[in-house]
Structure 1
Amino acid sequence: MEVSLFSTSCKTLKQSPSEALLLQRTWFPKWNQVHLFPRKRALRPLVDHTGVLTWKRNHLQVLNCQLKEVPIIEAGCMDEIYNILAERLVPIAAAESNPNFKHIVGLCGPPGAGKSTLASRVATRVNELWAQKSPCFDSQVESPEVAIVLPMDGFHLYRHQLDAMKDPEEAHARRGAPWTFDPERLLRCLTNLRNEGSVYAPSFNHGVGDPVEDDIFVSLQHKVVIVEGNYLLLDEDVWRDISSIFDEKWFIDVDIEKSMQRVLKRHVSTGKPPDVAKWRIDYNDRPNAELIIKSSKNADLIIKSVDSSG
């Protein structure tokens, strides 16, 4: 296992032989041959009286990284986080020669966490870096995209499927809850992507309120696929099988009150009266968010959301 976090010029930490062996065996066991950050951006280790390691590079911090805990990325702005995440994904895409290779990231978080924005910005940045660093394309040839976003929204149940449920009114009111999605279909899609290297997937038309079939094509040229959605890290039923497919599992950590304020603004912007929007949050969005937040324990990486409005 190769995880590069320190500069080789850092002083050696005082450790007993048993502590050194424990560190060697247990540090980031799931991140085999994947660097949390590029070697050129080496981080300096600090140790406080609790034994907690903290690394700092400019405004970026990876906090509370104890041996069995999940690393947390926190920055002064989201743009820096987008760059850091993209910079670590590009070498992964470049290192593989297998034409069917896919590095699949599961990006989870509650409503209003900024999943869609983060996934889109990171994928765009990966493609920009790939075009800059790939030696096999000259300035006259457009470099192909190697990163793509696959939203979970396309796997909503159709409205006619909600209409056919025992309590259609309740089904529509709770749309967005786990049982209003089709996780079996999502699992089949990701399994086919893993096995075959390409797949057609549905998107979601918010104006119509239903999925759009075969609207997203993940091709062989895509090496990094960011799957974003609410319930990707749930440890139950089919969701558990979905989670097992991901090479990395990211969770966006956001204060629930802040996320609900964002969702309220979103509801109002789509034409819902403020009282209806508040009712929907209390009846559906907040319970969903509380469930999703519990699944953060299954993540490999926690990303602290930064409110651009301050």
Structure 2
Amino acid sequence: METSTAHPESMDPAELIQRARNLARSGTRRILGITGAPGSGKSTVARLLVEALGPDTAVLVPMDGFHLANSLLKDLGRQQRKGAPDTFDDGGYAALLARLHGQSAEEPQIYAPDFRRELEESIGSALPVRATVPLVITEGNYLLLQEGHWPHARTLMDEVWYLDIDDAVRRERLIRRHAEFGRTPDEARAWALGSDEANARLITSHAHRADHRIRLDARPA
């Protein structure tokens, strides 16, 4: 679906929460995707929505849970590009969304993987998803890509929101994040302006495929 306009919608967090709440009120399982370039605030916004709606209404299942293991990335020669599209198990992600989309009382609980940034590794079966929770929120870089298994994953999402943000703010946020998780200042800047920036250009080129492009009036940090 390609329904967004060229210009982002200016919204505040309360408006996003209400929009997500309306989606959850449909009476059947809905999946909301949140995407944007690295550092755009995807995980922060997703957590904000889940916390506001509560555990009986929404649950977070991040795309980052499908990072390939560091040992495998090393074997494949992709470790220095970790975060690029081919460093994820896109087929596994699409398959999980299919299970979540069709989850019923016959499958009362599904376990999803999570990504632990302090370990830089995914942890399997870390996130329980109950069939009674109407809204699954998933966030990640590549929800709008048109290659591999990403298009299948997209068909399973009822809406995808693209978060727009000033590039300078986004890059500084990334540098700070990399430094917080163990990289030296020089390493943090090199990664943010190298691998992350290449991925950002790819992600931004697909922004028009989102249902809504959103620029937050009061962005979560």
Same fold judged by TM-score > 0.5?
yes
- Does residue 71 of structure 2 align to residue 185 of structure 1? no
Q: Secondary structure at the match of 1:163?
A: helix
Alignment partner, residue 8 of structure 2:
72
- Does residue 1 of structure 2 align to residue 94 of structure 1? no
Q: How many residues align?
A: 217
Residue 117 of structure 1, aligned match among 39, 44, 60:
44
**Alpha-carbon deviations, 1:188-238, whole Å to 9, x = none?**
100111122452110012222211110011111210111000111112221
**Alpha-carbon deviations, 1:128-150, whole Å to 9, x = none?**
xxxxxxxxxxxxxxxx6211111
- RMSD after superposition: 2.3
Residue 247 of structure 1, aligned match among 158, 164, 168:
158
- Provide the rounded CA distance (Å) in 2 between the counterparts of 1:183 and 1:263: 24
- Does residue 99 of structure 2 align to residue 196 of structure 1? no
- Provide the rounded CA distance (Å) in 1 between the counterparts of 2:26 and 2:182: 47
TM-score normalised per structure 1: 0.65
Deviation at 1:308, TM superposition (A): 5.4
Alignment partner, residue 35 of structure 1:
none
Amino acid at match of 1:204: F
* Change in CA separation of 1:208 and 1:69 when aligned onto 2, cut-off 3 Å: closer
TM-score normalised per structure 2: 0.89
* Change in CA separation of 1:204 and 1:294 when aligned onto 2, cut-off 3 Å: same
Deviation at 1:275, TM superposition (A): 1.4
Q: Secondary structure at the match of 2:203?
A: helix
Higher RCO structure, 1 or 2 (CA under 8 Å, sep 6+): 2
Mark the structure with the bigger radius of gyration. Answer: 1
Amino acid at match of 2:161: W
1:228-243 pair list within 5 angstroms: 228-243=139-154
- Does residue 186 of structure 2 align to residue 271 of structure 1? no
Residue 53 of structure 2, aligned match among 126, 139, 161:
126
CA contact (8 A) 2:59 2:136 kept: yes
Q: Secondary structure at the match of 2:60?
A: strand
**Alpha-carbon deviations, 1:1-24, whole Å to 9, x = none?**
xxxxxxxxxxxxxxxxxxxxxxxx
Alignment partner, residue 207 of structure 2:
296
1:148-159 pair list within 5 angstroms: 148-159=59-70
* Unpaired stretches in structure 1, ≥5 consecutive residues: 1-27, 31-67, 76-80, 128-143
